Amino acid sequence: MRNWIIAGFCLALLGSCSPGAEESDKPVISVTILPQQYFVEKIGGDLFRVNVMIPPGASPATYEPTISQLSELDRSDLYMKIGYLGFELSWMEKIMATNPAMKLVSLSDNIDLIREENPAHLHGHNHGGIDPHIWMSPLNAKIIATTVYRELLLLMPEEKVFLEERHETFQAELDSLHATITSMLSSLEDRSFMTYHPSLSYYARDYDLEQIPLEIGGKSPSPTHMKWMTDVGREKGISLIFLQMQLDQKDAETLAKEIGAEIIQINPLDPDWYSQMLFITGKLVSD
Ligand SMILES: [Zn+2]
């Protein structure tokens, strides 16, 4: 907040701050996961500094922030949460308490959320049966981008032209990504895939695919579920199982061996969100 006031002075005195403003002078936006940094920078360029809470390789279901991360929040003007990640459900109250002046925005706002009828069948980091993985869908990303644009504009109204132009360019890129994925998947005959962790629920919904997760309720599969997965895998001729980098390989390997499928490592927390969406689609159509 203090830096924000300084930036205001600078604006009043000089007409505008130099574009090469010190890193420490930039407004700070805190977010939960790395793909959010991608979204913020797509629209905000380097006008803002993005503070990401979950470091590479850590799990957004169980990660606990460090003392220095909590103090970094002190400098944040805004916290953009995904909405229903386990980390956020456990820590958001403490996070907001470290800096009550910080604005909180949920990127789940305006998203058509997937709710599971039977929450026992959902994985660990859900709340009230809501699937948290909203960012893994180009159509949701369009809604997220609009929310991000609106919030960045509120922080820096003097950069309206810059932000508006970048937001429009990004929306066009997302339209083209959606069109590319739709066309890549158009000739796919078997539309079912298996995954360890159900991080592709929104992607599956948007592209008319069926996601069959190995993990249930955030826990490794029971012998009964493993048996069921094996039967379904053989019956549907499943040829690949997506495995999230942060998770244990053992059960996925056992299942892959049983049904003759290949394990494909994916990373829903990839800072290069765009490439990850294309990578996942490419794997689905590659055989
Ligand atoms: Zn997840």
Q: How far is the CA of 189 from the centre of ligand 1 (A)?
A: 27
Give residue 160 CA to ligand 1 midpoint distance, Å: 34
Residues 6+ apart with CB under 8 A from 178: 138, 139, 142
CA of 4 to the centre of ligand 1 (A): 34
User: What is the distance in A from the centroid of ligand 1 to the CA of 136?
Assistant: 10
**CA 30 to ligand 1 center in whole angstroms:** 19
pLDDT tens for 166-211 read: 999 999 999 999 999 999 999 999 999 999 999 999 999 999 999 9
Ion ligand 1 — residues with CB < 5 Å:
199
Cα separation, 171 vs 174, in Å, equals: 5
Per-residue DSSP letter, 80? E
Distance between Cα 112 and ligand 1 center (Å): 17
How far is the centre of ligand 1, averaged over its atoms, from the C-alpha of 162 (Å)? 33
d(CA 179, CA 204): 15
What domains, with CATH codes, occur in the chain? 2-180 (3.40.50.1980), 188-285 (3.40.50.1980)
pLDDT over threshold 90, residue 123: no
Helix, coil or strand: residue 85? coil
Percent of the chain clearing pLDDT 90 (strictly above): 76
**pLDDT 10s digits, 93-120:** 999 999 999 999 999 999 999 987 554 4
State the pLDDT at residue 128. 61
Q: What does 166-229 look like in DSSP terms, one character per residue?
A: HHHHHHHHHHHHHHHHHHHHTT-S--EEEESS-TTHHHHHHTT-EEEES-BTTBPPPHHHHHHH
User: What is the 261 CA–ligand 1 centroid distance (Å)?
Assistant: 22
Q: In this predicted structure, what is the pLDDT of residue 287?
A: 64
In contact, 114 and 160? CB cutoff 8 Å: no
C-alpha of residue 237 to centroid of ligand 1, in Å: 25
Closest CA to 223 of 251, 195, 250: 251
Q: What is the pTM (predicted TM-score) of this model?
A: 0.88
Taking the centre of ligand 1 as the mean of its atom positions, its distance from the CA of residue 100, in whole angstroms, is: 28
